[in-house]
A and B are shown apart, each in its own frame.
Chain A
């Protein structure tokens, strides 16, 4: 099939699955069981994956019609409003292709996994309908060639996220979390849409390629404003400080959702958006620093919170925040390729980690508290080994995926002169290794703390779930080796060079030669060592049970460390309370904001309406005095009205003639 047919199909197939599941899913499930309801959405995503792979292969190999700089197709004129016009179209280049690979691969595996995971849920059909809707929206987001169409998809992924977080709607916490996610995202979206308006007002087009080509004509203040406003949207969707508060709560959704939307795909949309607009950001150096600062701060803040969380999914959620912080830091220092590299690697290993956590949660009968786990390694071996691999990958141990991508970010930050980014990122690398192995230790090693009633029933998940785990482990191991080598001129850099070339040359930083036996080698060694150090510390505190290694957990030492000094006690409480951001928001927006809203309602009833009713009363009491005039005869009223009108009209004329 020609690419011009395949490209729209990538998005249309999941849409068809969504429509089908919405219309017929409920009946199918009632008549033929849960698998019947899932099969069409599943097949649709499978076909979309196939189409995406063919398109990605074409785009990455530079085949016609993609070439070096991508290929676009347009469909219909969406909004024709005089001078303003938006045409819906898709555009595929190497950057799109990279995103397509992650989105469709993780998407397909999550769909397969969900067949197993949701097999006990009455709403399977609804779940798959929403998942398909999400896939459609996310694919449009990466394929769209127009800012307004990106915004459409941006909102639609928000909608699917809302629906899926609140999937178990009878649970109040789930529907509150869904609402919170949507509203917090909208705060960022206001910035994004204003950025879009600013782009149009200045360039009179919203086509992404035209805008990127024309942006240089604008003055630097305008460019900075555009970059800053677009950044608002990215910060919201990618859950960066200060709009990060929605993501941990989003863990109320079913775990496959957390894997797909809140780890591997949607939360990366902000990174994609900034990468896509790299020429704009490259011309706004101050905004780049803001991006780097937001990313770095989020990375360390979230990592510190992950230290003390006891809910297995929340640890992973804060880890996601922290890792996306890395990506923002990379974007901010101009390491565009490294950011996308980490996005891809993180998509695979974090998706795997979440799916593993789902398998764990299933095994211990919907328990998410790690204090009620432990010693699960031998009982659920596939889950254990795949999760261990993913943890090593995220910790940054060579030669797994996370090592390559994280190292590239840190190296570029160092070489581009952002020493503070490097230093904090370096520290976060150790913290990452630590909290991940705390998670592994508490969950899989040591003595079992599982509820004795559940204990005998712990078993490995079925094949629908374990096969996706094993498949995802492959890129977790290999992505770095395949994409990240040879150092300095890797495969991924080869793919993405045409995309980021304008930004790189605009920023005026020449690519520096790679020196494995020089600076780069030292940096690699340092980051691998610090990661290993983090793991060792975690081992020492939370126990080891890896092959021949056996070490008892020393939880008493954890306690002692926390109690050691006022500073450590404060840090512990800060971490446990998530640096009080939720409390601050509650105070500002629920308590104070609520008072304001009630105050305004009072104003509406008592002041505005009171004035109206007051004047009404005044008239009617005046009417009492004029009762004699009230004859009850319609003719008299009509006469009165007519006289009144003529008098008023005459007054008008007098004024008019007076000029």
Chain B
């Protein structure tokens, strides 16, 4: 059997599920075995995703590695998966961070290890599934699948205020996703009405062509876009629907925060680029000005609020609001550099913020505290940890040469070309980011060792080799993408061109209540 004939995407998606099933049958008193199986299945999935990356042809803008099986033929619902450059890179990002997160959970997770690993692997199934679905119904299923394990991970293994945080997370997301489901059904009905057939009513490629050729009628577009957009905006999260994020980030266990920041937030941005904009381009134009303003508010607002956070994780959570503001801004200026920057920024934010949360977790393991004011002078005690944290801090501050800069700069360039004042507000983020990040770094690492830390005595050890192993791949990628962003840019060029050619071909729909 040829490698090319393998259903690679399904394998990447469902190998973790097989791992989860295996773990379910493992005895509880064998934590080593449970960990090994979990890590192994995540690593196999990761290895397969690398095969996908190698085999992917970036010059072909079509969806590759497609697998199509009828699922509910009566409504034209299919199991249809496939990837373009954007999906490919996000799948690889997901599989990378999954095994890193599982490895990082080895030591901290001591209770209900079995359930934890099962949840985590199912989370991976859901996340990969979202990125490869080419059928709207299938997409929705995966979108919801990912929600449940995350709900459990925060709610069971989280911090003191975990129940409040996880309920907030789930309710927020559910409000959006139920609206999205309605919009998906409405689109399908409309398509069926227009063509008289259910065939292709949930098929993304068919619907996209329909959107380009005949287009959905105005009011449906506006409502459906809003429903999709709200679901995605909550996930991103955009100002003003971001308030679930600081709570969820703060209360989640380390690996949960990592996956939340690195991948879950990307679902929203991915959904915008993949579905909301191409299916409803006219409505996207209509709402773009509002979305741009909200993004700008998010960029500045998140940064300023981050400045005064007393909690280590909460500070980073607000920095996510700023960084993801760049992404939504880059998408909705409908401009080449902007969109490319947005995608690069998605990857970077995953690597950088993922790394920051991993590192905070490393110290939380030793101190069981995240109050910034209690820290101080760590640099003298844990030099390697400090260097690692410093690296990620400067990466997050957009230091050129590291990957964070490329994304931010491209978005800045795009937004400046769009409107110089939008560019100016975007650029101001350079100051804010330096301010809150260096404030955090100075408080925690410089000065004399704080009394609280001194009280820990020998517990306060430097970063361990295994912990370093979780950080190093991310750091290496940050340097690699910083010096050779072409690695990402070439891969996603096709997706960018496709989306932009669709959206630039149409003009805004007038809002019905303005007519």
Contact = CB atoms under 8 A, between A and B. Distances in A.
Nearest to B338: A81
A152 B434 contact: no
Contacts of B182: 645, 648-649, 652
Nearest to A656: B220
Interface string B356-376: 000000000000000000000
A609 to B, nearest CB: 4
B308 A594 contact: yes
Nearest to B428: A190
A190 B406 CA distance: 15
SS of A interface (majority): helix
A404 to B, nearest CB: 37
B53 interface: no
Interface in B369-402: 377, 379-380, 383, 394, 399-401
A653 B189 contact: yes
Nearest to A191: B427
B447 A182 contact: no
A600 interface: yes
A79 B420 CA distance: 22
Question: How big is chain B's contact interface, by range?
Answer: 35 or more
B445 A169 contact: yes
B319 interface: no
Given A155-B399, A604-B305, A166 B337 contact: no
A633 interface: no
Contact of B489 (A81, A155, A182, A183): A81
Contact of A175 (B413, B447, B484): B447
Interface in A586-624: 594, 596-598, 600-601, 604, 608-609, 612, 616
B442 A156 contact: no
A194 B427 contact: yes
A256 to B, nearest CB: 21
Contact of B446 (A26, A78, A166, A609): A166
Given A79-B406, A183-B438, A600 B301 contact: yes
A290 interface: no
A64 interface: no
B218 interface: yes
B416 interface: yes
A656 B217 contact: yes
A656 B489 CA distance: 39
B426 to A, nearest CB: 9
Given A183-B435, A600-B301, A649-B185, A197 B243 contact: no
A194 B308 contact: no
Nearest to A76: B484
B337 A81 contact: yes
Interface residues of A, number: 60
Contacts of B240: 608
Nearest to B439: A179
B446 A598 contact: no
A471 to B, nearest CB: 33
A529 B226 CA distance: 77
Given A652-B224, A653-B189, A186 B434 contact: yes
A189 B432 CA distance: 12
B315 to A, nearest CB: 11
B199 interface: no
A182 B434 contact: yes
A106 interface: no
B337 A84 contact: yes
Q: Which 6 A-B pairs have the closest CB atoms?
A: A175-B446, A652-B186, A656-B220, A152-B400, A197-B416, A169-B446
Given A198-B420, A656-B190, 10 more contacts: A76-B484, A80-B490, A81-B410, A84-B336, A156-B399, A175-B447, A190-B430, A197-B413, A197-B416, A652-B186
30 contacts: A78-B483, A79-B489, A80-B486, A81-B489, A84-B337, A84-B410, A148-B400, A151-B400, A166-B446, A169-B379, A170-B379, A170-B448, A172-B446, A172-B447, A175-B446, A189-B430, A190-B424, A190-B427, A193-B430, A197-B416, A197-B423, A601-B309, A609-B243, A616-B168, A616-B171, A649-B189, A652-B224, A655-B220, A656-B217, A657-B193
